[in-house]
Structure 1
Amino acid sequence: MPSTTAERPKRRLRRIPASQLIAIAVRGTMLLLVGVLIMAATKDWAELRWVALLALAGLPGVLTPRHAVLASLGRFAETVLVGLGASAVALAADQMYALSDGAGASAILPYLAVPITAAMLNHRPLESAGLLSVAALTLAVAGWLTVLPDGTRQLSHFGYLAACAQWLILAAVGTITTGAMQRAALIRRTPQPYAEATRLLTQLRQVARQLPGATLDPGSIAEHLLEELRPIGRPQRAAVLAASGAGRLVVLAQFGVEADDTSTRAAWETSLDADSAIADAWASQQPQVSGRSQLRSFDQTGPVSAVVVPLIAGVRTVGLVALERDGTNGYPPALTGRIVAAATPAALRLEAALLFEEVRSIATNEERQRLAREIHDGVAQELVMIGYGVDNAQATLPEDAKDTAEELRVLRAEITRVITELRLSLFELRSEVDRHGGLTAAIAEFARISGNQAGLKVNLSLDEAGRLPASIESELLRIAQEAITNARKHANAANLWVTCTVDPPYGLIEVSDDGRGIPDERTDGRYGLAIMAERAERIRGRLEIRPRDPVGTTVAVVVGGSSRQEGRATR
């Protein structure tokens, strides 16, 4: 139905922004107050002309508050009129009461806060300060030009000066307060975490491009630190550890500890609740010297000297470096001081690398979740609808169309197979190493679900004595998923054996099947094998793909074994 003429004004009123309605109400209230004060001071209706002039000058600020020129000119006119009106109203009040106390100026000067505060609210602090200066100059000039009945100039009277100074100060204080409140409100409205994250990530990207060697890998930084400390402390065993959560540490790099033979393997003490120099150094943020080895299951047949130095960035401990060698008095105070001086600069580098690794991990997981949602809501749903369409076509076929029915049955079976594969891919994308469940739980869940879908008998051997760095756990999970998926899709196997052993910094993932192996002519799996090799190299692991006796294939990846420094002779 067409709008009537009576409805149009109402609709136009609703389009007025709330801020504009507030400005009209404030100006109207101030004009009414000023009019009442002027009448009380002068008893002269003619002096209300200043109220009318101020209302006229305030129209641009009400109608076009965001206009860069008109609104500013309107506020300038209001300020000048207040200055001129203050002198005129003060003169009229002096003539009425035969006094020269300047009290009449206070009748109109409260309006001075309106244009100055309006400028500040429109994010024009310089204009606000300029209007305050214009008001002071106008009051001074008008007071100098106005001559009182006794022949003296109005500016020479203390009452006029006091009234002008009082309201100028109040206007300035009100303007400053308005600006502070406006900034506080803006801070509350601004999504600070996102703004701060954007700023920091931008800086991180710029810094990462300028880093020597362009590396932000915690493991590489830890290995470089050990290389720097090796000629200083001359340790036989050393490690760099960092926090992993749940009151434990993880080993980022080490040397001197045999990790290939699981029966003789020794590991660093990673519990922060243990009675060790490592736990004491972490808690006290002070270097700790000990006569005991910091390795668990270490056969200490003779005296051992160990020193543990905390790596502190700001006020936070980001890691530890532990050095030890056989013998007594291995790390006197002077040598410990040299080790601390050499290790201190690495703390900030290590913290930056750990933070970058965490950000990268969060971003990767978010992207995997996003891809999973896109596939589920897009391709997966379309395939399901196609399957329903094939079912409907099968249901409406005539009885004599047996060939067509068979083709549709085969097509429906293939669609079902593709949907199953797609759901397993979605599960793989969504799978993550839970903070509390650990790597073994994530691999076991994926193996069970994938094996059940393919009719495989899954045999699990799980042993997790601690946590590895999050980045290493994530890569090991993806390698295990790829190996299990290859066995499910291509091996035509009946059994699947999955072994997961974690004893930080050592980790072993082994996936075996009793299928047909990897034919030389098959090329579709080469890309997956290359990806597994890249992931293993990224975490400085060793990937091995070999035939299983008597049939099948074994994929194994080992991390935390003999490091790159292991084969070097101790200096």
Structure 2
Amino acid sequence: MVVLALVAVLTLLATRDLTQLWWIVLLAVAGLPASMAPEHWLIGPISRMAEVVVLGLAASQVAAVATIGGHIDGLGASAVLPYLAVPVTVTALRRRFREGALLIATVAATLLITGAFTEVGGARQVTQTGYLAVCAQWLILAVLGLYAAQTLHRVMQLRQDTKPQPYAEATRLLTQLRTVARQLPGATLDPGGISEHLLEELRTVARTDRGAVLSASGGGRLVVLAQIGADRVDWETTLDADSAIADAWASQQPQTAARSQSRSHRGGDVSALIVPLVAGVRTVGLVVLEADAAHAYPSPVTAEVTGLTGPAALRLEAALLFDEVRSLATNEERQRLAREIHDGVAQELVMVGYGIDNALATVHEDAEETAESLRTLRQEVTRVITELRLSLFELRSEVDRHGGLAAAIAEYARTVGASGGLRVHLSLDESTARLPAATEAELLRIAQEAVTNARKHAGATNLWVTCEVDPPYAQIEVSDDGHGIGDKRSDGHYGLAIMAERAERIRGRLEIRPRQPSGTTVAVVVGSSPRRDNLRGSAAAAEGE
């Protein structure tokens, strides 16, 4: 209707003759069946064919009248030929490209025939060059539009056919990942182990008083995967800082500097070499080497270092991706279990509790023994519901990307301690640097298991939770003043075995020892603390003297 209105206006401007609007009426009548039944296999094509025939007749007649009126020869055809876009566009949208080509051929033949035989005032005005040129222009535009639509359809179809199905592709990739993981040395993908091995290799080709492997984490910061050196180093972990570390990450090129890349260096001559670990086009980490000497990393040394970091980048990327996939799968499964418990067993137990309450309300006064049994049963159901709610809280607890490990452990200890009537004592010492996400998750689960065991089995009054994080070093201690881990404790070995497996997964050390004068201490240590090692060395030297 919009195009018809436009064509009517153009026809009046070209001919200044109201009688020529009959052609517009005929076009509307010819196209009406196709508009009323667009999906019909016969009515639609016949109606569109009638449209282009009427269009050809109208174009030649309007052109002739416009020529007599003093316009340029053939210009009047431009008044009605824009309507050709309507039937051609409809066939293109319905992917009937052959029908569209037939329509264009039909209107071309109609234009030629009517132009050759239509006379106005005894002269063959419409056979002039201007008319043919105008018709040719509109026909070429129609052909190009139809061809463009057909090409676009083919491209979209090709993309649709070649696009892999998400689940099929995920299955294929995970199957390959499992196969590769089994074939790797040690049948494991450990970012920390790979990073430590790389630092030891680099130490053989370049002087290294301090070194670290850093990787990206959430929040635009870096985490320390491994480090070497005798001194405690607070590495620069902010990517938006003005540092050689940020430059190396952004440029993917090795950077040298005459100053330390740590915020805790005391001064003196320092040479720093920062080499990005690039796998393909993606930066997966950085190697930072520092020596307490000037010009310690000339070009030949830098070349040797980059020769070793190239293959290590691919290994580290595979390990990080494997950790991420495992973490996503684990978190999703924990959330699924939490939902199922909440919507299933927990709700049913609540209903059982309500049923016991109703039964108590109907027990006669002379059935005191029955009432007492029901009250005992109600207490037990309440206890089980409390345990389930704490289990749900544990399943849903995660290390917040902004809050940190210490905050997550503290929140869990306070919540569980309050439910068990424990006085909780917290000692938190966490640096601004972060541990890898997988390491933080495992440490949180170990702390949760230790706190839960103390609440359920220790019979304790106080709970001490100590969290010290100085990446890549971390130590978590959970102590209670209960009756110890002897025969009175019913933990069994299952929870302890789970904690030991988690500690081994992050290359940590799990210690379980008695606490004096009573109770138990569960400690997990990841990495080594140069600061503590130095203190122990000084103490040993003092004892020797």
Same fold, TM-score > 0.5, yes or no:
yes
Q: 1:486, 1:525 within 8 Å by CA — same for their partners in 2?
A: no
**Structure 1: gaps of 5 or more residues:** 1-24, 187-194, 259-264, 564-571
Structure-2 separation of matches of 1:39 and 1:95? 8
Once structures 1 and 2 are overlaid, which stretch shifts more, 429-438 or 225-234? Answer: 225-234
CA deviations 1:458-501 (Å, max 9, x no partner) are 23222112321222111111111011112212233333222211
Q: What pairs with 1:16-27 in structure 2 (closer than 5 Å)?
A: none
* Cα shift at 1:223: 4.1
- Equivalent of 1:59, from 27, 33, 36? 33
Q: Does 1:488 align with 2:455?
A: yes
- SS of 2:289's partner is strand
* Aligned: 1:380 with 2:350: no
Q: CA-to-partner distance for each residue in 1:96-150, whole Å, 9 max, x for gaps?
A: 889993455445423211112223444x384686367435643565357646579
Matched residue count: 516
- Structure 2 residue 449 is matched with structure 1 residue 477: no
Give 2:498's aligned amino acid.
Answer: I
- SS of residue in 1 equivalent to 2:30: helix
Of 476, 489, 494, which residue of structure 2 is paired with 1:509? 476
What residue in structure 2 maps to residue 77 of structure 1?
A: 49
Q: Partners of 2:74 and 2:241 in 1: how far apart?
A: 82
2:300 pairs with 1:334: yes
Map of 1:133-148 to 2, 5 A cutoff? 133-134=104-105, 137-139=108-110, 142=113, 146=117, 148=119
Residues 46 and 320 (structure 1), Cα distance of their counterparts in 2 relative to 1, 3 Å cut: closer
Greater Cα offset, 332-341 or 349-358: 349-358
Distance 1:126 1:99 in 2: 36
Q: Secondary structure at the match of 2:477?
A: strand
Q: CA deviation at 1:455?
A: 2.0
Correspondences of 1:246-257 after superposition (within 5 Å): 249-254=222-227, 256-257=228-229
Alpha-carbon contact 1:119-1:128 (below 8 Å) kept: yes
Amino acid of the structure 1 residue aligned with 2:90: A
Q: How does 1:413-432 map to 2 (within 5 A)?
A: 413-432=379-398
> For 2:215, which of 227, 236, 242 is the aligned residue?
242
Give 1:192's aligned residue. none
Does residue 498 of the first structure (1) align with residue 498 of the second (2)? no
Q: Shift in Å at residue 518 of structure 1?
A: 4.2
2:30 aligned partner, one-letter code: L
Q: Where does residue 160 of structure 2 map in the other structure?
A: none
Q: Flag the 1:519–1:71 CA change in 2: closer, same or farther, 3 A.
A: farther
- CA contact 1:222–1:253 (8 Å) conserved in 2: yes
Aligned-partner Cα distance in 2 for 1:206–1:156 = 72
| Aligned-residue offset at 1:158 | 1.7
Deviation at 1:80, TM superposition (A): 4.1
CA distance 1:78–1:333, shift in 2 (3 Å): farther
Given that residues 11 and 76 in structure 2 are in contact (C-alpha distance below 8 angstroms), is that contact kept between their aligned partners in structure 1?
Answer: no
Measured in 1, the distance between the counterparts of 2:315 and 2:331 equals 24
Does residue 408 of structure 1 match 2:384?
A: no
Counterpart secondary structure, 1:233: coil
Q: Give the residue type in structure 2 aligned to 1:161.
A: L
Q: Is the 8 A contact 1:132 1:168 kept in 2?
A: no
Query: Sequence identity of aligned pairs in percent?
Result: 57
Separation of aligned partners in 2, 1:275 and 1:142: 77
Q: Deviations over 1:379-434 (max 9, x none)?
A: 33332232222112212211011121011101100111011111111221222222
**Deviates most, 548-557 or 309-318:** 309-318
Structure 2 match to 1:537: 504
Match of 1:556 in 2: 523
CA distance in 2: counterparts of 1:365 and 1:314, whole angstroms: 29
C-alpha distance after superposition, 1:342-392 (max 9, x if no partner): 435655665676567556645654554454344334433332232222112
1: distance between equivalents of 2:106 and 2:391? 73
Task: Return the TM-score normalized by structure 1.
Answer: 0.72
Structure 2: 5+ residue stretches without partners? 157-163, 531-545
Could you say what secondary structure the match of 1:432 adopts? Answer: coil
- C-alpha spacing 1:332/1:551, structure 2 compared with 1 (3 Å): same
Match of 1:130 in 2: 101
Query: Could you tell me how far apart the structure 1 residues matched to 2:263 and 2:28 are?
Result: 90
1:389 is the counterpart of 2:355: yes
Task: Name the counterpart of 1:161.
Answer: 132
Which residue of structure 1 lines up, in the alignment, with residue 202 of structure 2?
229
Closer, same or farther: CA 106–480 of 1 in aligned 2, 3 Å = same
Deviation at 1:235, TM superposition (A): 4.0
1:210–1:453: structure 2 CA closer, same or farther, 3 Å change rule? closer
The code of the aligned residue for 1:118 comes to: V
TM-score of the superposed pair, with normalisation by structure 2: 0.75
CA RMSD between the two structures:
5.0
Of residues 407-416 and 219-228 in structure 1, the stretch that sits farther from structure 2 once superposed is 219-228
Question: Partner residue of 2:82?
Answer: 110
Q: Distance in 1 between matches of 2:175 and 2:130?
A: 62
Q: In 1, distance between residues paired with 2:33 and 2:288?
A: 75
Q: Is residue 8–residue 21 contact of structure 2 (8 Å, CA) maintained in 1?
A: no
Residue 323 (1) aligns with residue 289 (2) = yes
**In structure 1, what residue type is equivalent to 2:131?**
Y
Q: Quick check: 1:304–1:326 contact (8 Å CA) kept in 2?
A: yes
Q: Distance in 2 between matches of 1:72 and 1:222?
A: 69
**In structure 2, do the counterparts of structure 1 residues 100 and 439 end up closer, same or farther at CA, with 3 Å as the change threshold?**
closer
Structure 1 CA distance for aligned equivalents of residues 332 and 516 of structure 2: 41
- One-letter code of the match for 1:229? L
Name 2:418's counterpart in structure 1: 452
Contact 2:420 2:455 in 1 (8 A): yes
Distance 1:85 1:532 in 2: 88
Write the deviation string for residues 190-226 of structure 1: whole angstroms up to 9, x where unpaired.
Answer: xxxxx99999978965874686857775435534543
- How many angstroms does 1:329 deviate by? 4.8
Q: 1:224 to 1:142 in 2, by over 3 A?
A: farther
Distance, in Å, in 2 between the alignment partners of 1:283 and 1:229 is 23
